[in-house]
């Protein structure tokens, strides 16, 4: 049985991390490039927001018995196959997980400009995911 309280708690964590990103991402690419503390705060909170989305997916997939994923991104495809996500949201989430993996495993190779663009143009992807999940598990947004 899907634990709605767990999903709400994880979603609240996502929202908290997104607010922190919004507060620290800044309005200027140059300022972002020159402020390592700001970058660290944004990186950490982005990683945590994405990880909480992964945790939600893993919980639903496990509790509903949708299959055994071969990778983290496969969690989202399993949700899509079971009509929890639309294909466009699945693609957004798989890109987010790929980006998170890059931040975690290839930190030195991160393109700061790509991070800046991401936190200005793609944070709504995580919110869209939460809205879809809430709808499917019967939680009011």
Domain with residue 14: its CATH number is 1.20.120.580
Band (pLDDT 50/70/90 cuts) for residue 107 is low
In total, how many domains does the chain have? 1
pLDDT of residue 141: 67
Q: Which residues of 31-61 are buried (b: 16+ CB within 10 A; e: fewer)?
A: ebeeeeebbebbbebbbbbbbbbbbbbebbb
Average pLDDT, stretch 89-105?
91
| Residue 91 CB contacts under 8 Å (≥ 6 apart), including other chains | none
Average pLDDT, stretch 46-57?
97
pLDDT of residue 52: 97
pLDDT of residue 84: 95
pLDDT of residue 7: 96
Give one word for 140, left, alpha or beta, with left for phi > 0 and alpha for psi -120 to 50. Answer: beta
**CA triple 40-56-76, angle to 5 deg:** 95
Cα–Cα distance for residue pair 3/22, rounded to 1 Å = 29
Q: Helical H runs in 34-82?
A: 36-64, 72-81
Q: Residue 53 is part of which domain span?
A: 4-137
| Token pair for 139 | 């939680």
Band (pLDDT 50/70/90 cuts) for residue 102 is confident
């Amino acid at each position: 049985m899907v634990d709605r309280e767990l999903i709400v708690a994880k979603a609240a964590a996502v929202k908290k991390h997104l607010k922190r990103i919004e507060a620290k991402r800044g309005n200027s690419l140059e300022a972002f490039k020159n402020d390592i503390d700001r970058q660290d705060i944004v990186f950490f909170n982005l990683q945590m927001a994405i990880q909480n989305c992964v945790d939600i997916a893993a919980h639903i997939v496990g509790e509903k018995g949708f299959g055994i994923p071969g990778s983290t991104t496969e969690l989202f495809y399993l949700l899509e196959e079971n009509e929890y996500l639309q294909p466009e949201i699945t693609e957004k989430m798989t890109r987010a997980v790929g980006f998170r993996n890059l931040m975690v495993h290839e930190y030195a190779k991160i393109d700061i400009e790509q991070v800046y663009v991401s936190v200005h143009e793609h944070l709504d992807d995580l919110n869209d995911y939460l809205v879809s999940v809430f709808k499917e598990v019967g939680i009011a947004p």
